[in-house]
Structure 1
């Protein structure tokens, strides 16, 4: 148990049986009346974001979230199998839990897997990954006036918008948060 005065960004709270991560908090002390804490909370499982206000000093239940660096091994049907790099234990993570990260996940890649009481909550990838382009249309000669882009399929099967000069077989750096092309690797 902690009080609302102890809140920090990234802290995970157990409210009404659901896990909520503190995205932002602000301790407000108006001239008249009691102090309160205004928070922005994100549901760890669904991603839903809500604003919630607590009276200052109110007790809230914190949840223990264990973040471990794990290595992605392989896909097992809809599940993804990760191995803990310290204990070498393997865990299955549901495809829904991995979410968009699956588009940038290569075998033997390292990722942070957050668990609560042994249940995987989410998978965090590094902010950028290097992927090889498996297919893209050749850029047309003279089509350079707009500095346009074209779709390219990377080795994970995801499609990334790349500049016209990029060709099949090149390695590129991709932002895992929004799928943007960052440059050649």
Structure 2
């Protein structure tokens, strides 16, 4: 599909010389002299590499048709992760390289958004935060509550994150899926 650089928005996927790039940041820029430009930060959909690229405003660009579908994570099988399309119940094997860091936050039956281009999985978007159990963390020392310190804790998915000293093994915590940061305890 053709578009112009004036149509660029976050999340759009561009097809530049046969490579797919997702727009993660853009800004329209009009210098005092000369034509307007669109500055972008693009992420290569396959490799995850990011680049900064500036386009002239109004330039024709090729966009990729990306089909975003709600899917449910079923299980891990060798070097792929099996998801089920919530609409069709079709199962899709997604390679570990596409799943990326999302694997650190995936539990069986978890919902995720899978982006496909011509049937090929490009990337996975998780909810902004997930609730996971602390598999193991060293016991905190009494009197540590005031220091505001943190300690490593291993989540049920195997990912290690930093948590406040008062968190104990077996507790459920809320975790930011973008950077693995601790967001709080889950009550109940």
The two structures have a TM-score, normalised by structure 1, of 0.92
**Matches of 2:19 and 2:141, distance apart in 1:** 53
Gap change, CA 1:53 and 1:163, over 3 Å in 2: closer
Q: 1:113 to 1:142 in 2, by over 3 A?
A: same
- Give the equivalent residue in structure 1 for 2:182: 181
Kindly indicate whether residue 11 of structure 2 is the aligned counterpart of residue 10 of structure 1. yes
- For the Cα contact (< 8 Å) 2:145–2:166, is it kept in 1? no
Q: CA deviation at 1:91?
A: 0.3
Q: Call closer, same or farther: CA 1:76–1:165 in 2, change over 3 Å.
A: same
How far apart are the structure 2 equivalents of 1:145 and 1:5?
52
By how many angstroms is 1:84 displaced? 0.3
On the 8 A contact 2:144/2:166 being kept in 1, the answer is no
Change (3 A) 1:13 1:145: same
Structure 1 pair 140/31, CA: closer, same or farther in 2 (3 Å)? closer
Partner of 2:79: 78
- Once the two structures are superposed, what CA deviation does each residue of 1:7-57 show, in whole Å capped at 9, x if it has no partner? 222211100110112223333344433333332222122222222222232
Q: Aligned residue for 1:120?
A: 121
Distance 2:130 2:175 in 1: 5
**Worse-superposed segment, 50-59 or 156-165:** 50-59
Task: Provide the aligned length of Structure 1 versus Structure 2.
Answer: 185
The aligned residue for residue 59 of structure 1 is 60
| 1:36 counterpart = 2:44 | no
- Once the two structures are overlaid, the 10-residue window that deviates more, 18-27 or 111-120, is 18-27
Structure 2: segments with no counterpart, 5+ residues: none
Cα offsets for 1:94-127 (capped at 9, x unmatched): 1111111111100000011111111111111111
| Runs (5+) with no aligned partner, structure 1 | none
SS in 1 for 2:147: coil
* Inter-CA distance 36–182: structure 2 relative to 1 (3 Å threshold): closer
Aligned to 1:148: 149
TM-score, with length taken from structure 2:
0.91
Q: Which moved more, 1:35-44 or 1:12-21?
A: 35-44
Instruction: Please give the root-mean-square deviation of Cα atoms over the aligned residues, in Å.
Output: 1.6
